[in-house]
Amino acid sequence: MSTSDPLRDPHARPHHVTKASYSDRATDAAHPLSAYLLRLMTLKKSNLCLSADVSTTNQLLYLANAVGPSIVVLKTHYDLISNWDYNPTTGTGARLARLARRHGFLVFEDRKFGDIGNTVQLQYTEGTAKIIEWSHITNVNMVPGKAAVDALAEAAMKWRERKRYQVKTDISVGTPRSGSVNSDDEEEDDTVTPMPETNGLDVGQSSNYGRKASIVSITTVSQHFEPINSPRLSEDLEEESFLGIEEAPMERGLLILAQMSSKGNFMNREYTDACVESAREHKDFVMGFVAQESLNTQSDDQFINMTPGCQLPPEQEDEDAEIQGDGKGQQYNTPQKIIGLKGNDIVIVGRGIIKSEDPVREAERYRKKAWEAYEERIASS
């Protein structure tokens, strides 16, 4: 056992990141989306992610709108939604993106990509859902190996470069003019002068007092690249945005599924170590992990750790009461244990909120408890 690795030595000192405030970490974060999320957490005093595992668009959008003020991340499973609308501008993904701007949270599609590199690239950027277009964050199951992370990182980089500039197209139609009006004994000029930006050329012929005449109508298509943050383009954004912070950056982020909360899962230490190694190789794309403990071990690690399997006992019960699993392999921990003891950053809560009588009130209860655990953790440094 190596005493230099806190993941292997329970007596090692906590990593410095677990003692730093979210606001301080935001200034040093390597990933722009991580920096944004940490600032958002500070502003909203929330480290809560809602796992919106519902089956209809109405349920999903209702929860996003109702619980949005309490959360910083909304986790989705688009393939659970029976009536998901795939329209890129008016569909479910686009509507989620608008609610995210309005309430100040990021969308995390819990896709758990797990295939060869070429396949995961296509699943991420193409197909019916086009996940990369509306989801700020997604995740990967690294069982196929590092190539899956490499491929997703490459796809995100190419998408970002395309998105940095929006192609604007201007179309103009020229006034018809007579061309090549020749008599039989006139010399015809065969020289063609190229016309840049000319996309279409319609030629019609008519007779004019015995002479052939070509009436040329020129359609000019001009394309130019306009920066995505152009003031003219921003005028198209009619939706209100969350006050106190700008819109989320253009970059996309990845979480690596490094550990699971389900009983008997096969994600052993070797697998988790490989996940951490891959994350360090792609710090400009990998934001962090879905894990049960903080996986920051090296001095320059700044990854965000999100943890599922969070549940509070009923309000009338003692906070230290033992919480039973769901009988389907899920094991639960309280925010105090996940944030306070394990050093994680964000708790992921699903049924504890969704199945309650008042999801809005329950989301606030989880937000407060998870935030208190964070404040106690950094205060003890």
What amino acid positions are annotated as catalytic residues?
A: 110, 112, 115
Both tokens of 140, joined, read 């990967």
Determine the Cα–Cα distance for residues 313 and 341; give it in Å rounded to an integer: 18
Q: How far apart are CA 135 and CA 117, in angstroms?
A: 20
The enclosing H or E element of 128 equals none
Rg (CA), the chain: 28
Binding residue per annotation — 236? Answer: no
The residues facing 49 across adjacent strands are 73, 348
CA-CA distances (angstroms) from residue 381 to 15, 19, 104, 294?
11, 6, 29, 16
The response to whether 292 counts as a known ligand-binding position is no
The answer to whether 368 is annotated as binding is no
68 annotated to a ligand binding site: no
CA distance 109 to 76: 5
- Does the annotation flag 330 for ligand binding? yes
CA atoms of 46 and 55, how far apart (whole Å): 26
Q: Where are the alpha helices (DSSP H) in the chain?
A: 22-28, 32-44, 57-67, 92-103, 117-125, 131-134, 146-163, 231-234, 269-281, 335, 351-354, 359-379
351 known ligand binder: yes
Query: Which residues contribute to the annotated binding site for substrate?
Result: 53, 75, 261, 330, 350-351
Q: Which residues are annotated as a binding site?
A: 53, 75, 261, 330, 350-351
